[in-house]
Amino acid sequence: MSPNTWVIEMNSHKSRLFTHPQAHPRSQLSNDAFARRAVSNDNPVFEDISTILSVLKASGLLPFYEQLSSYEVGPPSKTNEFYSFFVRGVVHALTIFNIYSLITPNSAQLFFSLRETDNVNQWIELLLCIFTYTLTVFVCARNTKSMLEIMNEILKLDKEVLRQFGVVLSNNCNFSVKFLVVIVCCQAYIMVLRIYAVKGAITPTSYILIAFYAFQNGLTATYIVFASALLRIVCIRFHFVNQLLNAFTYVQQQKLAKKSRRQPPVSNMEHFPEDSLFIYRTHNKLLRIYKSINECCSLIIVCFLGYSFYTVTTNWYNLFVQITNNKGIISAHILQWCLAWLCLHTSLLALLSRSCGATTYEANSTSQILARVYGKSKEFQNIIDKFLTKSIKQEVQFTAYGFFAIDNSTLFKIFSAVTTYLVILIQFKQLEDSKLEEQVQNEV
Amino acid sequence: MSQPTPLVQPLLLQFQQLFFISKIVGVLPQDLDKFRHKNMLEKSRNGMFYMLGVLSVYVVLYNLLIYSFGEEDRTLKASQSTLTFVIGLFLTYIGLIMMATDQLTALFNQGQLGELYERIRVVDERLYREECLLDNSCIAKRIRIMLIMTFIFEISILVATYINLVDYTQWLSLLWIVSAVPTFINTLDKIWFAVSLYALKERFEAINATLEDLVMEHEKYKTWLSGNDATTATVGNRTTDHPPQSSPPPQYDSNLEYLYKELGGIDVGSLRGSGSKNRNKVAPIAHSMNSFGESIPTPYKPQRMNTNPMINMAHESELSNATKVEEKLNNLCQVHDEICEIGKAMNGLWSYPILSLMAYGFLIFTAQLYFLYCATQFQSIPSLFRSAKNPFITVIVLVYTSGKCIYLIYLSWKTSLASKRTGISLHKCGVVADDNLLYEIVNHLSLKLLNHSVDFSACGFFTLDMETLYGVSGGITSYLIILIQFNLAAQQAKDAIQSFNSFNDTAGFVGAATEMDNESSTLYDMVTTTMMSPTY
Amino acid sequence: MIQIMNWLSMAIGLIPLNRQQLHSNFLVDYVMMVLVPCLYLIAYFGIIVMQRFGLAFLDACNSVCRLSNNLFMHLGAFLYVTIFVMSLYRRKQFFVDFETHLAEIDVVIKKCRQVADLDKSRVKAVKHSVAYHFTWLFVFGVFIFALYYDASALYGTFGEYAIIPFMVSSFPYLAGSIIQGEFIYHVSVISNRFEQINTLFEKINQEARRRHAPIQVFDIESEGKKQERKSAVIATKTAFGIEQKLADEMKRQKSPHEDEDEMNTSDEEDDDIFDYNDTNTENTESTSETNLPDLFKLHDKILSLSVLTNGEFGPQCVPYMAACFVVSIFGIFLETKVNFIVGGKSPVLDYMTYLYVIWSITTMVVAYIVLRLCCNANNHSKQSAMIVHEIMQKKPAFMLSNDLFYNKMKSFTLQFLHWEGYFQFNGIGLFALDYTFIFSTVSAATSYLIVLLQFDMTAILRSEGLMT
């Protein structure tokens, strides 16, 4: 039952394996910085999400890993490490400057408001944003090694799959570029709105603050998109493993039997033992990768969810207040502001929920598919039993730091919580308004 | 599977009346002729055009209805804030949205619906081969009962509202009939789902019953083997507990089916006829839902031993031969998996309509109760909710709406439970035989069954479980408390300001006292007007 | 104690007389079940229609008092009608089925105990602990106090006609609580049977432990040693028998097994005192293990009995818990917002408030006992699986999969997993009757109370003349 036995058995079935012409010489390369020169012929790793990766690398959230081969990355060189440190230092300095100018009247220009509560609102939003981004930077700095390990594990898995089946797994992460575009547009739009809303001449401090605010939000959002992209990659690999397993289920075997019209379809179950070992091993590896992504990202995701929840609630509230304004003056500025924020955050929440939900679903469906494999011999049944016994009650979940699981239903729960708070807030507002109205009427 | 006559009756045979009504009203677009002749649901372009036409007609009529009955709403808009008006408008249209969702989903899923019932037919055939007895006749009865109840509810709400609350001197008021259309179409669509779900539950129960029968058979075999009366205490209750039927229905023994075919050239399994006339069909399985199957004996089992001496089944048990029964258990497990997959497919087909139904139910329930409260306080309410002015009509509306939602959730829960019971029955087989080989088979299949899950959910947002109902009712109560609380507070504030102002006027001195009196009896009025017979 | 409750429930007309006999006089059995609800309905509709004999129609009763009285009355009506309809649904059938199944289970348990050589000379008396008696006394005391308070207050107001308002105020809650008492009784019977099979499992566990020293658990060699020991050592049955009885005696004195109100989680695992030599093997080891299929079947049967009980009493739990919830919330609301401020000024209002508080405490006590017992039964059921798992681990042939013993254990573990996914004591699936239910109701009650307590009662109280 230990993984070692499977590795030993794997070697005996090499006769059935395809060999990729490029893979073998490369696998002899040592993890040496000097081998970098041979890299130029290889395909870049994680091609699909290269834009996001470069953005995150440039801002210090991800390390500048060295690509050692098509399927391996190494730790960054010294200069690149220094660069990452430098960027993080600049970010922290700017954060401190930000907080300092918020406390002093330097930023008074940016805070105009109709009511006292709006001011408090903006304060809380700003603080949450700063907190989230600072936390992101800290956690990313701490997790550089584990992030590299995750990437290496994924690449190793891809290499293994290529060696066994000759299939190159695509990543289907085009959505990341689209989301990046959306984020950039929204942030730029918000910046412009902010600049226009400021009365009088704008001080450099205000420029810095506005730019940094957009920068923080944009990068936090980009990190969330990156996490979703990683999850999508893992999901695709789970799906591949499930497809492999699906070929052995009784439904598929019956279809093959109908097509072949020859002897009873025992022939396809021949490969079941060695394929099942590969599948189990790959599934375990993928589970480990999934769990390590969870550990890396969960604190950031918790803070982001809190920040997002708060932003969505306050923006919906402001939107409602504007729309139902009895005085008839609808401020276009506030409308656009609210819509931009809502658009950004809702799409990010939906993306995160869907990625987590899809990956969890794929991970949990392996045992369901295995339950459909019917083998005649005791050996097959034992193989199936081993995996099924191990995965009893092993509910794979993507948790937010252990507080709750993120799933397809998370979006719905957030939505219903937001609605409840909105109802309460709107009722308070209506009460206030009706009292004001009565007083005004009676004065008249 | 390529036989000219099918072994079992297709399930769709029971749906004749329902399909006819659905086709006329515009709920399903499939072909009517093919359904009548072949009992299959197939795509039909004419049906699609008809449905789209009917949908647009309904939309137009509904908008006309809202417009013509909406004069009150326009004055409402002036007096109250825009927000209340917007919410009122949204609630008014949600019925239409629900109806449109149902019909458009049915259009998109035309082909897949037929495939679903084809899969059920294949499952029935496999069950038949495993000597698993099913009875489809209760389904037609169920459909009829549900249709009758739908009609009763819709007509009573319509007539009661029309008589009490609509000004029927104008001929335009006949348009009020259109207000019942969205809910009626929605109910018809849900009857399809509910009855198909019930059919799946019956198949799960059939598998469970087969396993329990194996157990009982083996127990009798053991008793016969041991030959003593040590276990009559356990078996005695069953054999003496003959059901009080004077003449049992004619037995349809699956083993004798081949004999019947040879003797008369008739295929007993494919005798046509409406549901109630299928006397030649299998004896119904009497398994109550509340207790386990083994407490209420199947009526035909003891008689089977006595009336068929030529089939030597009285002293044999399938479970005593592990290798032979392995095939049967494997097949049952595969059928169980197939039914779970059909359940998931059904859930996928109906996920959006169910989501919209639950949203509709939640919103309308809250809104109706809140407007009932507002009506007792003589505040103005949107025109389409005028049924809230009369508590009895409100009760009927609430029972109808919540009944639909609760029944679907309850049925999903029960089906889920029935699928989980198979593992338990399987283990009973293993325990009663106490044979190593059988234990291994049972363990292996049990592990597989642990991974067969059928959980119904609405688009993955929430599961269709009774626990969801618990949460939803908590949510409704919270919202109601918040809304009513604020309404009361606003009322109090308004009254306080008014009384303060009129207190200053000498002429309004008396008015203050009466207003204070009104305020004090607010609570009492609220309760009594809802409980006693209201006169509006 | 149980008998008193049974008589009371028969007298009130909640369960039919002669409930365990299928063929008895129909009229005699159901006469109370028809009479008492009719009385209740007459009283209820009489008060509403005639507007007399009700607390709400007294002059001294202000609007707050009227509202709370109406709520109490209508809630009671809802509770009583739903409970009565559900009781009527199965009538005797449930009790007959329950007794039949219980008899079957007891027969098999007796057989297993004979095989396992347990308590040959002891009468199986049900010994109750102090806590059990104390709980019963406490519950009876609280009920008697509540009924007495209500009856005396109403007698003071209405004289001989007090029976009519009494029927609509306290009687429904009393009826609901008695049905819960029946539920508690049946669940405790089930719990007791679980405990008995747990002792039988534990016996097998001890034997397994005695045969295999802990060092040799995963050792293949011990398989050979086991064979040697079996053939080599002679066992004296009497010697073992005496020691086994001693062991059982010590165990029984340590923990009262038939205690329905305490959780016996740690008792069965306290086996350090039983440190026997390995040389003392026994012949009864094999006979005790032959109990295993019967024990597995028993476990399944007892769980089926639980399903039956839950099917009968679970639906009746739901309106009871709902009524308890509403009464508690309103009790807290009235106590803090009304009584705290204007207590003592209006006796009728005070009476209503106290009535709410008393009945909320009473129903909460009963609800807590229900939850605790259901949890207990669940834990006992889990305990069986844990003991079997322990037995499994002691066998050196753990890794070999063609061992009958191993397959049996594995089959039971899987069976238990299936049961766990299928059944837990619940109320029509709405909520599980567990301690988590307390958590969810308390959080819901907190959020409602926060909203309700914002309500400003001073204006109303002032207008009623209770405040200045």
List the single residue in B448, B450, B478 with the smallest CB-CB distance to A420: B478
Q: CB-based contacts of A139: which residues, under 8 Å, 6+ apart? A: A296, A299, A300
- Tell me if B447 and A388 make a contact (CB, 8 A cut-off): yes
Q: CB distance from C463 to chain B under 8 Å?
A: yes
Residue C194 has pLDDT above 60, yes or no: yes
With beta carbons under 8 A apart, name residues in chain C contacting A391.
none
Q: Which of A373-382, B498-507, C42-51 has the lowest mean pLDDT?
A: B498-507
B33-48, pLDDT tens digit by residue?
888 887 788 888 888 8
Q: Sort strands A66-69 and A72-74 into parallel, antiparallel or unpaired.
A: antiparallel
Residue A21: Cβ-neighbour burial (10 angstroms; 0-12, 13-18, 19+): exposed
- Tell me if B486 and A431 make a contact (CB, 8 A cut-off): yes
Q: CB distance from C447 to chain A under 8 Å?
A: no
Structure confidence at residue A313 as a pLDDT band (50, 70, 90): very high
Q: Which of A13-22, B203-212, C7-16, C285-294 has the lowest mean pLDDT?
A: A13-22
User: How far is A32 from C98, CA to CA, in rounded Å?
Assistant: 75
Which amino acid, B131? E
- Tell me if B483 and A435 make a contact (CB, 8 A cut-off): no
User: How far is A138 from B363, CA to CA, in rounded Å?
Assistant: 44
Q: Kindly state the percentage of chain B with pLDDT values over 70.
A: 73
User: How far is B116 from B287, CA to CA, in rounded Å?
Assistant: 27
Structure tokens, C328: 């508690």
Residue C85 has pLDDT above 50, yes or no: yes
The overall longest dimension of chain A from CA atoms, in Å, is 97
Q: Sort strands A72-74 and B457-458 into parallel, antiparallel or unpaired.
A: unpaired
User: How far is A350 from B34, CA to CA, in rounded Å?
Assistant: 43
User: Which of C98, C410, C411 to mutate to test binding with chain B, by most B CBs within 10 Å of its CB?
Assistant: C411
What integer pLDDT is reported at residue C375 of this predicted model? 95
The helix/strand/coil state of C220 is: coil
Using an 8 Å Cβ cutoff, are A29 and A42 in contact? no
What integer pLDDT is reported at residue C251 of this predicted model? 42
With beta carbons under 8 A apart, name residues in chain B contacting A325.
82
Structure tokens, C112: 């297993």
Structure confidence at residue B315 as a pLDDT band (50, 70, 90): low
Query: In this structure, how many other beta carbons lie within 10 angstroms of the beta carbon of residue A276?
Result: 22
- Tell me if B444 and A438 make a contact (CB, 8 A cut-off): no
Q: Kindly state the percentage of chain C with pLDDT values over 90.
A: 40
Per DSSP, A399 falls in state B
Compute the mean pLDDT over every residue in chain B, rounded to the nearest whole number.
Answer: 77
Task: Over range B494-505, report the average pLDDT.
Answer: 77
B438-492, pLDDT tens digit by residue?
999 999 999 999 998 888 999 888 999 999 999 999 999 988 988 888 888 888 7
Task: Over range C375-399, report the average pLDDT.
Answer: 83
Compute the mean pLDDT over every residue in chain C, rounded to the nearest whole number.
Answer: 79
Q: CB distance from A377 to chain B under 8 Å?
A: no
Using an 8 Å Cβ cutoff, are A219 and A87 in contact? no
Q: What is the Cα gyration radius of chain A? A: 27
What integer pLDDT is reported at residue B521 of this predicted model? 35
Q: CB distance from B260 to chain C under 8 Å?
A: no
Nearest CA in chain B to A416: B475
User: Which of B451, B459, B464, B488 to mutate to test binding with chain A, by most A CBs within 10 Å of its CB?
Assistant: B451
Using an 8 Å Cβ cutoff, are B311 and B258 in contact? no
Structure confidence at residue A107 as a pLDDT band (50, 70, 90): low
- Tell me if C401 and A392 make a contact (CB, 8 A cut-off): no
User: Which of C398, C400, C401 to mutate to test binding with chain A, by most A CBs within 10 Å of its CB?
Assistant: C401
Q: CB distance from C45 to chain B under 8 Å?
A: no
Query: Which has more pLDDT, A134 or C2?
Result: A134
How close B482 comes to chain A (CA, Å)? 7
Structure confidence at residue B74 as a pLDDT band (50, 70, 90): low
Which amino acid, A58? A
Q: Kindly state the percentage of chain B with pLDDT values over 90.
A: 36
Using an 8 Å Cβ cutoff, are C80 and C175 in contact? yes
Which of C250, C291, C241, C245 has its CA nearest to residue C268? C250
Compute the mean pLDDT over every residue in chain A, rounded to the nearest whole number.
Answer: 82
Which amino acid, C378? N
Residue C383: Cβ-neighbour burial (10 angstroms; 0-12, 13-18, 19+): buried
What integer pLDDT is reported at residue A260 of this predicted model? 78
Per DSSP, A397 falls in state -
User: How far is A113 from A118, CA to CA, in rounded Å?
Assistant: 6
Structure confidence at residue B267 as a pLDDT band (50, 70, 90): very low
- Tell me if C402 and B434 make a contact (CB, 8 A cut-off): no
Query: Which has more pLDDT, A36 or A301?
Result: A301
List the single residue in A250, A367, A368 with the smallest CB-CB distance to B334: A250
Long-range contacts of A62-66 (CB under 8 A, 24+ apart): A62/A140, A62/A144, A62/A147, A62/A226, A63/A144, A63/A147, A63/A148, A65/A148, A65/A151, A66/A33, A66/A36, A66/A39
Neighbours of chain A (3+ CB pairs under 8 A): B, C
Q: CB-based contacts of B161: which residues, under 8 Å, 6+ apart? A: B176, B386, B387, B390, B393
User: How far is A348 from A342, CA to CA, in rounded Å?
Assistant: 10
Q: What is the Cα gyration radius of chain C? A: 28
Residue carrying the six token digits 């063929």: C23
A66 - beta bridge partners? A74
Query: In this structure, how many other beta carbons lie within 10 angstroms of the beta carbon of residue C190?
Result: 27
Per residue in B264-280, is it b (16+ CB within 10 Å) or e — as a string? eeeebbeeeeebeebee
Q: Which of residues 425-444 of B touch C (CB under 8 A)?
A: 427-428, 430-432, 434, 436, 439-440, 442-443
User: How far is A55 from A85, CA to CA, in rounded Å?
Assistant: 16
Residue carrying the six token digits 């399985």: B285
- Tell me if B461 and A412 make a contact (CB, 8 A cut-off): yes
- Tell me if B453 and A368 make a contact (CB, 8 A cut-off): yes
With beta carbons under 8 A apart, name residues in chain C contacting B528.
70
With beta carbons under 8 A apart, name residues in chain B contacting A435.
493, 497
Structure confidence at residue C283 as a pLDDT band (50, 70, 90): very low
Residue B120: Cβ-neighbour burial (10 angstroms; 0-12, 13-18, 19+): buried
What integer pLDDT is reported at residue C259 of this predicted model? 38
What integer pLDDT is reported at residue A431 of this predicted model? 79
| ipTM attached to this prediction | 0.81
Per DSSP, A170 falls in state P
Q: CB distance from A367 to chain B under 8 Å?
A: yes
User: How far is B439 from C406, CA to CA, in rounded Å?
Assistant: 10
Using an 8 Å Cβ cutoff, are B125 and B6 in contact? yes
- Tell me if C418 and B292 make a contact (CB, 8 A cut-off): no
Residue B306 has pLDDT above 60, yes or no: no
Task: Over range B206-211, report the average pLDDT.
Answer: 94
User: How far is B499 from B511, CA to CA, in rounded Å?
Assistant: 8
The helix/strand/coil state of A406 is: coil
Neighbours of chain B (3+ CB pairs under 8 A): A, C
Structure tokens, A340: 């931009």
User: How far is C308 from B121, CA to CA, in rounded Å?
Assistant: 33
- Tell me if A392 and C417 make a contact (CB, 8 A cut-off): yes
How close C104 comes to chain B (CA, Å)? 6
